[in-house]
Structure 1
């Protein structure tokens, strides 16, 4: 399997390119519209054809490239069935692996950051989306976020995986690329170190993070699998091409 971690610096988003050498086909997990051409160039450089895009959840900090990639190269859109998006070609559900050639993603429903959030287990790698970040987690104060649900998703589902499972998040704001389940259980100040549910609730309630700058535009656009809104205020007129910091964790 070919595995590439691709970074989009404006929203600090990691996308993941998974390539099957047997079929020559590829998957892009959480593609970002501003890096679409770069990602397609990497797919081509590796001699692959993009077959699918896969989403972990409906993003609030950037516009997904899923629809534009489908229009340009014919890739099919895969996303959690939970959200019932009309634009999705394949709905993901826990207990039903998503397979493309030699690549098999095991979907894990991990609500809390959003109600329909999914992580994907890929052998000894775990694509955690925004549920579990490196020494952090996604915020729980919008999109039907729920601190209790996120605590359960991470401590009961993700932390039950083998300690040497590699953790690949959807975001990092400090130039970190990978962790492990063991490291997060030991060092994560929000969810590790045997933090109790009550402590986690208190931590999340006291974050006092600013309202996400793009949520009112990104969420409707991403519910259509990546449509750039045409009603943006002047200061966001180039929203799909140029974004500024909008921390999700």
Structure 2
């Protein structure tokens, strides 16, 4: 990692364990929520806040960090809130009741996020691939990686790739859901295959024993790269 490490604030939180403990759906879904920020300014953004949203904010505030925005990898309810499998999941709507901040999405995802969460478009900030979001002195590069959903996006920050449901340590996101596209997923995976080997992948769910791995390792163990 770079010398930004002493300034970079980066936390990986697991649903059903680090927050929403005792929530059967959160425990089953094993979602990861991430916080990325600048320790020197105390600002951070939350990636995919869902389930016990106030608990997530409490954890970050206990670290003396202030939530100044949300980064959404895609619109599915287990990442931004909404109704799924007969369950109502807290998400960005609940977060906005506590923190007045922008929700950063990929531009193609706007309509889907609004329908899923009922958040007004006025709270959303649409981005294109390659946009850079600065949180204090920390730069986060946004990569459009459609396939799982039309506006799925990943985030590159200081040698880390936060990939949502585009890429897991083993496998990739489903492409048989509304808005998904297998051909686009193939293109997105080819794009991620070009990420430097030393980059550490942080997925949207804990579907493997490990919670993260280098891209070099992922490209060796993940069967999806054999099919590109």
- TM class by shorter chain equals 0.7 to 0.9
Give unpaired runs (5+ residues) of structure 2. 1-7, 17-25, 82-89, 112-120
- The aligned residue for residue 119 of structure 1 is 154
Aligned to 1:195: 227
Query: By percentage of residues, which structure has more helix?
Result: 2
Distance 1:68 1:87 in 2: 16
- Select the structure of larger CA radius of gyration: 1
Q: Which residue of 1 aligns with 2:178?
A: 143
| Partners of 1:77 and 1:89 within 8 A in 2 | yes
Rounded Cα–Cα distance in structure 1 between residues aligned with 2:9 and 2:57: 15
Query: Where does residue 38 of structure 2 map in the other structure?
Result: 20
Q: Residue 56 of structure 1 corresponds to which residue in structure 2?
A: 73
**In 1, Cα distance between equivalents of 2:104 and 2:181:** 24
> RCO greater where, 1 or 2, for CA within 8 Å and sep 6 or more?
1
TM-score (norm 1): 0.72
**Equivalents in 2 of 1:17, 1:186: separation in Å?**
28
Structure 1 residue 96, shift from structure 2 partner: 1.8
* Of 61, 69, 72, the match for 1:44: 61
Runs ≥4 residues deviating over 4 A: none
Q: 2:212 aligns with which of 165, 170, 178?
A: 178
Query: Could you tell me how far 1:67 is from its partner in structure 2?
Result: 2.1
**3-state SS, counterpart of residue 186 of structure 1:** helix
Q: Which runs of 5+ in 1 are unaligned?
A: 197-249
Structure 2 Cα separation of the partners of residues 31 and 44 of structure 1: 15
Contact 1:57 1:117 in 2 (8 A): yes
State the 1:46 CA deviation.
0.8
Task: State the aligned residue count.
Answer: 192
- For the residue of structure 1 that corresponds to 2:52, the secondary structure is helix
Partner of 2:9: 2
In 1, distance between residues paired with 2:136 and 2:194? 27
**TM superposition shift of 1:188:** 0.4
| TM value normalised by structure 2 | 0.79
The more displaced of 167-176 and 120-129 is 167-176
1:169 counterpart = 2:197: no
Q: Is the 8 A contact 1:79 1:88 kept in 2?
A: no
Match of 1:69 in 2: 95
Computed over aligned residues only, the root mean square deviation of the Cα atoms, in angstroms, reads 1.6
The answer as to whether partners of 1:112 and 1:140 remain within 8 angstroms in 2 is yes
SS in 2 for 1:37: helix
**Aligned twin of 2:104:** 78
Match of 1:134 in 2: 169
